Structure formats: structure tokens, C-alpha cells
Amino acid sequence: MRILLQFPEGLKQEALKHAKKLESEGNEVIISASPTFGACDLAIDEAKKVGAEKLVHFGHSEFHHVDFNVEYVPYLIDAPLDVLPESLRQLEGMRKICLLTTVQHLHQLDAIRRFYEESGREVVLNRPNGFAKANGQILGCDDGNVMVIDRSVDAFVYFGGGIFHPLGALLQTTKPFLAVDPFQRRVWRMDEMRETYRKRSRGKILSSLKSRNFGILVSTKNGQYNMNLARILKKRIESAGITAAILISNTLDFESINNMLEFDAFVNTACPRIAIDDTDRLRKPLLSANELMEVLKLIKEGQKPRMNGGL
Ligand code: SF4
């Protein structure tokens, strides 16, 4: 069988090992060298181009159904759990917690849950919105029902490395938010980051108010493509008397987008995290769809006083 292998950046270092194993089983193997961001970003076009019968995607679980033969090989990490006791001190007085983790640690979730239950706590798991597949699992773009859970728990506990995965959930919630990082052996409160990101969002909105030309970014990645939303946003912008154009790309290259000097602001319809994590990579404001709506609302409100000699 001819197979195309696809790895996220952190696993590309193991590509040759997997290719040789599959070759020794009689397969013809080709490795995708393109950047890979998630299971939203399957290399189906490359697989079809090389005539592969199967795409083997490493490191992520299924994101959504596609009409191609895809095998998902999640990458499980047995992270040390000896950092958990340290979190109890910071959870003092907090009886009910919501536990969150990534696909890499889902197999450890039962053990982590038991640990907190044995400490006398009630543990609840979030229910994903469909892109993540298991209770308790979060993705950068799927925080599940954490907003609802926020009303009933005393704290959130994220188990895993980095801030990419928990940041979305953090920004949807109000309760104390603990990150238990087994790799850095560190337990820390992420709460303060909420205010930082809120201020940043407000800054982007305010600096977009005088924009006359908006670029709406669409990605052709299979799980990120949202031309319908782009068309709706274009109409909304134009009905406010402002110019808009839809810009399409596979992987958004911020250097190229920075060269599009006619645009005063950009709106993201691709991976929702782009308008949160990548704003510093563009010289112009990079808005989410919700932030754009806020801009249009403020412009509309601002027009009335302007007509009366105000704003
Ligand atoms: S957060 Fe972005 S890159 Fe990650 S799975 Fe979701 S859409 Fe893809």
C-alpha cells in the first residue's frame, strides 16, 4: 500500500523511524514535510497528489469526518504524577474541581481523578463540543462546556505542558485556574493572564475603529475552512460602508499578509486561536469574528453622536 505519513512539528523528528517500519512491512511510504498544526490540517491534497491510499496522521485524534482513508495515531505521554500533591496546597478550601487535559494524557485521567477524589474533592470533567472526542479533553479550539461548569465548580485544574491548550478554557471562565505541569514539575495559577488577554482584545478593537479596508482571512485547511463565515462577515462590513475583501491561503504566512499594505485590519475565520496567539505577528490589528462585531457595533453607535457633532 502507498501511504503518506504526517507529523506535527514536535514529532517530525521520529518520521524516518516510522517510515522505515512501514516500509519493512511492504508499504511504499512518503513523508509530508509541510507544517502541521492539528488534525484540522490533514495532508489530504498531498496524499491524493502522490496517489496514496492512506494518510497516517500522528499526534492527534480525529477532528472531524473526511472522505479519505485516514488513520490517527495519538501520541500518548506517561507524564510523572508526583507533581500532583503540590497542587493540593493551592486548592485549599476548594472542594469541587473541573479537570482538563490533552489527548496525550487522556489515559492518565482516571489516575489523576482518583488522586483528587481521595483528597476529598469532587471532580467533574468537561464535555467537548465535538472537535475533542473524550470527556475531560480540551483542544485549542474546543473548551467543551467549561462556561457552564464555571458556575458550579470552585476551580479548574489543567494537567499538561504549555499554555496553548488551557488558554481558551481560561478565557471562558472566571474561577481559579491551576496549571499542573508535569514536565516542568510546576503548579501555577493562570488567572492573571485573563486580564492581559482581555486588555489586548480591547486594544485591537479600539485600534480598528478607523479602519477603512478589512481583509478577511480564510484558510483552505480541511478543518479550518470557513468561507460561509467569511462571506457573512464581508457583507456585515460592507453594510457599514467599509471595504472588505476575502483573502485565501493554506498556512497563513504573516510576512506575506504584512505586505498587503492597503488593509487597515484583518479578521480571522481560520483556527480561532490565530486571533489570540498570533496578533503580534501582524503589524495591523487581527480580529476574531466576535471582535469584528464589537468594532462594527461601536462604529454604528459612534455614528449617531458624530452626526450630532459628537464622536
Ligand atoms: S486549535 Fe487550531 S490548530 Fe488546533 S486543532 Fe483547533 S483549529 Fe486546529
DSSP state of 283: S
CA distance linking residue 47 with residue 2, whole number of Å = 9
Does ligand 1 lie within 6 Å of residue 37's CB atom?
Answer: yes
- Cα–ligand 1 centroid distance for 269 (angstroms): 12
Query: In this structure, how many other beta carbons lie within 10 angstroms of the beta carbon of residue 201?
Result: 19
Residue 159 lies in a domain: yes
CA distance linking residue 286 with residue 124, whole number of Å = 35
In this prediction, residue 74 carries a pLDDT of 87
Cβ atoms of 246 and 218 closer than 8 Å: yes
In this prediction, residue 16 carries a pLDDT of 98
Residue nearest to atom 1 of ligand 1 (CA): 140
One domain, residues 233 and 285: yes
Residue 235 lies in a domain: yes
The CATH number given to whatever domain includes residue 42 is 3.40.50.11840
Q: Which of 174, 190, 206 is the last residue of a domain?
A: 190
Backbone angles phi, psi at 171, to 5 degrees: -75, -15
Q: Which of 190, 205, 224 is the last residue of a domain?
A: 190
The pTM of this model reads 0.90
In this prediction, residue 309 carries a pLDDT of 34
Rounded average pLDDT per 10-residue block, the chain, 311 residues: 96 97 98 95 97 97 94 94 96 97 95 98 95 93 95 98 94 97 96 95 96 97 97 98 97 96 98 94 97 96 49 35
* Domains: count for the chain: 3
Does ligand 1 lie within 6 Å of residue 36's CB atom?
Answer: no
* Position in ligand 1 atom list of the atom nearest CA 63: 5
Residue 95 lies in a domain: yes
Does ligand 1 lie within 6 Å of residue 103's CB atom?
Answer: no
Question: 131: burial class by Cβ within 10 Å (0-12, 13-18, 19+)?
Answer: buried
In this prediction, residue 303 carries a pLDDT of 55
Contacts of 47 (CB under 8 A, 6+ apart): 4, 54, 55, 68
Cell (9 digits) for 167: 488558554
One domain, residues 202 and 137: no
One domain, residues 205 and 269: yes
One domain, residues 226 and 291: yes
CA distance linking residue 64 with residue 61, whole number of Å = 9
Residue 125 lies in a domain: yes
Residue 93 lies in a domain: yes
Domain that holds residue 94: 84-190
Residue 7 lies in a domain: yes
In this prediction, residue 90 carries a pLDDT of 95
Does ligand 1 lie within 6 Å of residue 165's CB atom?
Answer: no
In this prediction, residue 311 carries a pLDDT of 35
One domain, residues 52 and 112: no
Q: Which of 167, 190, 213 is the last residue of a domain?
A: 190
Residue 283 lies in a domain: yes
* First-to-final CA distance of the chain: 66
One domain, residues 162 and 236: no
Residue 79 lies in a domain: no
Q: Largest Cα–Cα distance in the chain?
A: 77
One domain, residues 254 and 207: yes
In this prediction, residue 92 carries a pLDDT of 95
